[in-house]
């Protein structure tokens, strides 16, 4: 074992939001518990863009103010300890509302040998509405059509008010009616006024409904029999007698699923794309100009499940294990490196040449509390590990010579502009992309690994910015920026003229849920599409005080963004395991491998076009939940990430270490169990 130093900070990095943090922050004795914070006002209500100061004071059990204290804030989502940019706080107690919502600010107070914490609830509200826009309401449309209104409500500052719900009415209900979901149904020829009103603000569009010219509709499907999860395209062609005409089409579904479950078990988009979650017979209806056409298809079980069996383990039960990386050494043997969390700065090196006999061959200890990320250069000669919680407060990265993984040597430390901590990093073409204090990433040239040189930086223009991870492929960096979503940046691809020294943003995509934690790009040959996988990470707020329990488990799921058009990304699908939370993942050969925290390791079929809920479609190939009574937390899985490698699947679990399993070939007519647990 090599060592730089082995001292660590008392208080860890809260950005990681994991169970040991809660244990470390718990009161140490009853006397300390009598101390308290006073936060005034609490709760605080402010408008978007406004700033208001709160007062933070500490008192002891005798109600005497404790002097000479300092305080700090971490803004948290109301649903979890994912850092949020909805409300910003500075070191003086000035709170600024950034986006509408309710946020919990964790308040930490240090002074006179006392450490206290409490929460400030910040309610950020809109300014009064000032304008309503009916963006897609035409002045003329054909009877029999249905127009789903696209409403925008702007406030006094010209900012869009999210989730505003104006009342919408038609002045002539015989001509057109508006339902509770703001869909305008055109009933017969005539004139009417469509009015949207919110408070004293209203907007009106005059509408003329013309007689239908549609005499009949022809509806066809790209396939008549498919599996669950396969996308079928329906095409509706409308005619005026024998002449083809173009008019808006509305689609709907009627179904007879073979399972006795409620609901259609399917969805159809406005472009006619259809996907089913359950086997059965489905009929898609196309409606235009008062005419209807229907077409039925049969959907069968996807049937992709396979058995997963345990092959070997590299056991770590005294410390929490974090990320890992696999590589083929210069001696043609196979190796792995794993990090540790909330521990003593350890990283372990393993020989995995025989996946059934994983052998720890070396370790290294650095001045850190968390070695969260570990990565290798493309040639497998240099390993870089990240540091958080260093006693020196320098943090940064440590560069290692791993030409001989049985005798790892330290080449250099680098902490310029990285002293706030490096949570994640990536290596691409002799450049390191290292997160700096969860706000941006620094780009460091390591052509000479003993003499790293910073050459560039990328950060977004948002004072409330936050970033969790970055992945680089083909000269394009994909960063996970929490509520700012996924950001695609040219760092050498050339598509936008970017280089490592001059990174240039290409485009970005918001992600449903605003908790984007990790990103992985992949191309689907079978669908001829380019996708980006973007996952959530959400933890219950109570973790900060109660730690991990059966009722306070991680949540969040995996989103799929169709980024085939680099300028027009669209979120199209999801994979959601009930009662569990996603973490890191890998895609290879149109198969997704996920570390799903308490849900274990999951293997998912990504073949074909992706649309809808992949979990409900039966795309899950199999799963394995690692449990060990001797684990860091006994019998509780907290699977970190997974990666296929040379015919085996390797993954790390926070409580048990490194695992090797085998996804066995499909066995027709086999009654073997699909999901195997240790």
Of residues 271 and 260, the one with the higher pLDDT is 271
Does the pLDDT of residue 140 top 60, yes or no? yes
The β-bridge partners of 670 are none
| CA dist list (Å): 237 to 142, 293, 583 | 16, 10, 45
What's the confidence (pLDDT) of residue 131? 95
For residue 56, give the H/E element and its range.
Answer: strand 55-59
**How would residue 272 be classed by pLDDT, with cut points 50, 70 and 90?**
very high
- 656 and 313 in contact (C-beta within 8 Å)? yes
For the stretch 443-464, pLDDT in tens is: 999 999 999 999 999 999 877 7
**How would residue 142 be classed by pLDDT, with cut points 50, 70 and 90?**
very high
What's the confidence (pLDDT) of residue 69? 86
- Cβ-in-10-Å burial (0-12, 13-18, 19+) of 360 comes to middle
For the stretch 560-571, pLDDT in tens is: 999 999 999 999
Q: What is the rounded average pLDDT of the residues 406-432? A: 96
What's the confidence (pLDDT) of residue 674? 42
What's the confidence (pLDDT) of residue 514? 74
Angle at alpha carbon of residue 262, lines to 260 and 264, rounded to 5°: 105
Write down the number of H helices and E strands in the chain. 3, 57
Does the pLDDT of residue 32 top 80, yes or no? no
**What is the rounded distance in angstroms from the CA atom of residue 56 to the CA atom of residue 36?**
11
Of residues 420 and 483, the one with the higher pLDDT is 420
Both tokens of residue 9?
A: 């900070």
**How would residue 475 be classed by pLDDT, with cut points 50, 70 and 90?**
very high
For the stretch 47-67, pLDDT in tens is: 988 999 999 999 998 899 998
The β-bridge partners of 535 are 518, 558
Q: What is the rounded average pLDDT of the residues 503-523? A: 92
| Phi and psi angles of residue 14, each rounded to the nearest 5 degrees, phi first | -70, -20
Q: What is the rounded average pLDDT of the residues 637-664? A: 97
128 DSSP 8-state letter: P
**What is the rounded distance in angstroms from the CA atom of residue 290 to the CA atom of residue 608?**
35
Does the pLDDT of residue 79 top 60, yes or no? no
Both tokens of residue 321?
A: 């294990």
Q: What is the rounded average pLDDT of the residues 482-503? A: 95
pTM of the model: 0.84
Does the pLDDT of residue 29 top 50, yes or no? no
Q: What is the rounded average pLDDT of the residues 226-240? A: 97
- 491 and 498 in contact (C-beta within 8 Å)? yes
Report the percentage of the chain scoring pLDDT > 90. 72
Among 203-212, 545-554, 629-638, the range scoring the smallest mean pLDDT is 545-554
Cβ atoms within 10 Å of 581's Cβ, excluding its own: 23
What's the confidence (pLDDT) of residue 85? 66
Does the pLDDT of residue 640 top 60, yes or no? yes
What's the confidence (pLDDT) of residue 71? 86
**How would residue 31 be classed by pLDDT, with cut points 50, 70 and 90?**
very low
Q: Give the domain ranges of the chain.
A: 2-125
What's the confidence (pLDDT) of residue 543? 54
User: What is the rounded average pLDDT for all residues in the chain?
Assistant: 88
Of residues 31 and 587, the one with the higher pLDDT is 587
For the stretch 594-610, pLDDT in tens is: 999 999 999 999 999 99
Does the pLDDT of residue 368 top 60, yes or no? yes
Report the percentage of the chain scoring pLDDT > 70. 88
Does the pLDDT of residue 492 top 90, yes or no? yes
Identify the CA nearest to 183 among candidates 140, 142, 139, 151: 151
Does the pLDDT of residue 337 top 60, yes or no? yes
What's the confidence (pLDDT) of residue 112? 78
For the stretch 169-225, pLDDT in tens is: 999 999 999 999 999 999 999 999 999 999 999 999 999 999 999 999 999 999 999
- 278 and 261 in contact (C-beta within 8 Å)? yes
Multiple choice CATH, 2-125, 2.40.50.100, 2.60.40.1080, 2.60.120.10, 3.30.870.10 = 2.60.40.1080
Residue reference for tokens 């409490």 = 118
**What is the rounded distance in angstroms from the CA atom of residue 506 to the CA atom of residue 33?**
51
Does the pLDDT of residue 255 top 80, yes or no? no
What's the confidence (pLDDT) of residue 666? 81
Angle at alpha carbon of residue 175, lines to 171 and 178, rounded to 5°: 60
């Amino acid at each position: 074992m090599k060592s730089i130093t082995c001292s660590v900070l008392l208080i860890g990095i809260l950005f990681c939001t994991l169970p040991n943090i809660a244990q470390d922050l718990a009161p140490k004795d009853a006397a300390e518990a009598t101390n308290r914070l006073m936060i005034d006002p609490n709760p605080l209500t402010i408008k978007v863009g406004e700033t208001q100061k709160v007062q933070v004071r500490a008192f002891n059990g005798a109600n005497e103010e404790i002097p000479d204290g300092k305080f700090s804030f971490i803004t948290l989502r109301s649903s979890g300890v994912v850092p949020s940019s909805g409300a910003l706080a500075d070191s003086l107690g000035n709170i600024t509302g950034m986006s509408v919502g309710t946020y919990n600010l964790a308040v930490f107070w240090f002074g006179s040998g006392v450490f206290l914490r409490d929460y400030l609830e910040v309610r950020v509200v809109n300014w009064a509405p000032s304008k309503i826009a009916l963006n897609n309401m035409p002045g003329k449309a054909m009877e029999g059509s249905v127009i789903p209104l696209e409403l925008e409500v702007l406030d006094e500052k010209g900012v869009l008010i999210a989730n505003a719900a104006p009342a919408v009415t038609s002045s002539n209900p015989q001509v057109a009616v508006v339902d509770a979901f703001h869909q305008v149904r055109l009933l017969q020829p005539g004139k009417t006024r469509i009015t949207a009103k919110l408070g004293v603000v209203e907007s009106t569009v005059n509408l003329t409904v013309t007689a239908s010219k549609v005499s009949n509709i022809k509806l066809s499907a790209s396939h008549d029999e498919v599996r669950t999860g396969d996308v079928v395209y329906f095409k509706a062609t409308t005619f005026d007698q024998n002449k083809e005409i173009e008019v808006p089409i509305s689609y709907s579904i009627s179904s007879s699923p073979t399972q006795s479950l409620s609901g259609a078990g399917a969805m159809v988009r406005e472009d006619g794309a259809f996907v089913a979650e359950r086997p059965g017979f489905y009929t898609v209806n196309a409606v235009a100009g008062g005419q209807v056409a229907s077409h039925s298809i049969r959907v069968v079980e996807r049937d992709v499940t396979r058995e997963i069996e345990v092959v070997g383990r590299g056991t770590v039960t005294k410390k929490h294990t974090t990320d890992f990386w696999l590589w083929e050494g210069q001696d043609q043997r196979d190796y792995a490196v794993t990090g540790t969390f909330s521990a003593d700065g350890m990283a372990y090196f393993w020989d995995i040449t025989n996946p059934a006999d994983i052998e720890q061959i070396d370790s290294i200890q650095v001045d850190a509390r968390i070695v969260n990320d570990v990565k290798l250069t493309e040639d497998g000669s240099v390993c870089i590990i990240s540091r958080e919680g260093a006693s020196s407060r320098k943090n940064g990265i440590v560069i290692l010579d791993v030409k001989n993984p049985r005798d790892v040597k330290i080449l250099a430390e680098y902490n310029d502009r990285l002293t706030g901590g490096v949570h994640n990093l990536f290596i691409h073409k002799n450049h390191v992309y290292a997160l700096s204090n969860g706000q941006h990433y620094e780009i460091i040239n390591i052509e000479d690994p003993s003499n790293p040189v910073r050459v560039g930086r990328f950060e977004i223009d948002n004072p409330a910015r936050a970033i969790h991870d970055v992945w680089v492929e083909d000269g394009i960096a994909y960063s996970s920026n929490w509520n700012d979503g996924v950001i695609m940046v040219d760092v050498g691809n050339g598509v936008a003229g970017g280089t490592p020294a001059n990174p240039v943003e290409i485009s970005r995509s918001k992600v449903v849920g605003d908790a984007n934690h990790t990103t992985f790009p992949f191309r689907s040959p079978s669908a001829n599409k380019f996708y980006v996988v973007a996952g959530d990470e959400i933890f219950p707020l109570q973790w900060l005080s109660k730690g991990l329990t059966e009722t306070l488990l991680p949540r969040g799921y995996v989103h799929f963004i169709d980024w085939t058009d680099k300028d027009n990304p669209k979120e199209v699908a999801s994979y959601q395991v009930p009662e569990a939370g996603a973490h890191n993942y890998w895609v290879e050969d149109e198969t997704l491998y996920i570390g799903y925290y308490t849900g274990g390791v999951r293997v998912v079929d990504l073949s074909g076009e992706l649309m809808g809920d992949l979990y409900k479609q039966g795309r899950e190939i199999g799963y394995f939940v690692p449990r060990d009574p001797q684990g860091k937390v006994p019998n509780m899985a907290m699977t970190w990430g997974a990666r296929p490698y040379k015919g085996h699947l390797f993954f790390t679990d926070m409580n048990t270490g490194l695992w090797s399993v085998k996804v066995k070939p499909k066995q027709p007519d086999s009654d073997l169990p699909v999901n195997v647990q240790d």
